[in-house]
Amino acid sequence: MNYARIGLAALGATVAYFVLGGILLSGLPSLRKEFMKYPAVFRTQDDMKRVMPMGMISILVGIFVVAVLYAMAYPAGGGVFDGARFGALIGVFAACGFALHNHMLLNIGIKLTVGQAVTYFAQWLVVGIVISLIYAPAAVP
């Protein structure tokens, strides 16, 4: 495993994760409205800013772990299709293990649950693709 490539892949994928999350949440105002329906469950935007650093660091660590798993699965580097497949598997895990599972635990509606599941899936799909692009070994001339 090449830890420098893993670190770069994790950093690039973290940027992609947050960019896509921002686009999806701002591009889907109905999802933002759904979050606002549950003020006892979710923090306000101002309150989120206070704990944002912890959230960003936790995602970076999580994506680093996913990049290590990718490197273990594809030691020589895989292609974009491999990254998409890998990201889709992580996305299904995130959607089922968190968004859909949280529907049972949290008093939130199905519309928000499905919106979160779709958003998480898309983010992790892109994370897998970005990791595959950055972790790929340099082409030998």
pLDDT higher at 95 or 139: 95
Interval 56-95: pLDDT, tens: 999 999 999 999 999 999 988 889 999 999 999 999 999 9
The 3-state secondary structure of 33-45 reads HHHHCCCCCCCCH
Mean of the per-residue pLDDT values for the chain?
A: 91
| Alpha helical stretches, state H, the chain | 3-27, 29-36, 45-73, 80-94, 101-105, 110-135
Taking the model in full, what pTM does it have?
0.90
Residue position matching structure tokens 């800013």: 49
Q: Half-sphere exposure of 94 toward its Cβ, with a 13 Å CA cutoff?
A: 23
Query: Looking at residue 34, what is its pLDDT?
Result: 84
3 state SS of 68:
helix
Query: Burial of 25 by CB count in 10 Å (0-12 exposed, 13-18 middle, 19+ buried)?
Result: middle
> Which range among 1-5, 13-17, 137-141 shows the weakest confidence by mean pLDDT?
137-141
Q: Which amino acid is at 6?
A: I
Mean pLDDT of 36-48: 87
Query: Looking at residue 125, what is its pLDDT?
Result: 98
**Do residues 114 and 30 lie in contact, with contact meaning Cβ atoms separated by under 8 Å?**
no
Query: Looking at residue 140, what is its pLDDT?
Result: 53
**Do residues 133 and 78 lie in contact, with contact meaning Cβ atoms separated by under 8 Å?**
no
pLDDT band at 124 (very low <50, low <70, confident <90, very high): very high
